[in-house]
Amino acid sequence: MNHLLDTHFHLDLWPRPNISTLIEQSGIYTIAVTNTPSVYFHTEKIAANSKYIRAALGLHPQLASERQRELPIFMQLLPTTRYIGEIGLDDRTCTDFEIQKKLFISIINACADARNKILSIHSRRADKEVIDVIGEQFPGKIILHWFSGSLVMLERGVDAGFYFSVNHAMANSSAGKKLIQAIPSDRLLTESDGPFVESSRQPCSPLSMPSLLQTLVSVRNDLENEVIASNQIFANFRRILS
């Protein structure tokens, strides 16, 4: 099967070191997200020698309080990559939510100024706030990763031109299936979120994308088989790149 895609994989946290070689051998286009600017260098070094892996610069919202001092490093590195992630907001009830929001606003404004960035964004229990910060005229490409918000917020994201990357965990829950079914086919992308997401009691990776496509075909009525699903998803990715 051609044109496999993983838009959200934590390469630096994968426990087995040969995964980058397997990604290359399998020809799976992979966005390797990072959680802090200080670990971006390791992933960027791997991606520099790769045809299929691209390193993304991140500052995870769950590390906002602990790593807010790394924001200047983030800004310094921003021009070195088109890919940004993992960034976003996590759980509006968290005690550090205002710190998260301050960092997120700074990052979104900097990416808007750059205009050509592709962002993979975390929005768990903060979907409205994430969409409010980004706005409806963002001059880059937004991917809401593992979206778990309401159908109303999903529709707002669609109207704003956002894309949505889905994974095995979403496809294996009733709420996740409803969201997957509601995503327009031209906004659908695939991700593993490995090693945090598991399938068949094994951590997911880009190598899990064939089985994810099989699951998507079973969940959605508009994807007749894995080849059609793969072609549609990769066409969406090409549109993001252009």
Is 70 annotated in some ligand binding site?
A: no
Is 24 annotated in some ligand binding site?
A: no
Is 42 annotated in some ligand binding site?
A: no
Q: Is the dihedral of CA 144, 116, 101, 77 positive or negative?
A: positive
> What are 106's two structure tokens?
């700074």
Distance CA 30, CA 209 (A): 11
Let me know: does 145 contact 165? Beta carbons within 8 Å.
Answer: yes
| Cis amide leading into 61 (omega within 30) | no
Angle at 43 between CA 41 and CA 49, to 5 degrees: 105
Is 60 annotated in some ligand binding site?
A: no
DSSP helix/strand/coil, 127: helix
Q: List, in sequence order, the alpha helices (H) in the chain.
A: 19-26, 37-48, 64-67, 71-77, 97-114, 127-134, 151-159, 168-171, 174-182, 209-219, 226-241
Phi first, then psi, for residue 148 (nearest 5°) are -130, 20
Is 122 annotated in some ligand binding site?
A: yes
Distance CA 40, CA 77 (A): 9
> What are 13's two structure tokens?
């946290």
For 137, 165, 189, 235, 238, the CA distances from 186, given in Å and listed in that order, are 19, 12, 9, 8, 11
Binding residues are 8, 10, 86, 122, 145, 193
Binding residues for a divalent metal cation are 8, 10, 86, 122, 145, 193
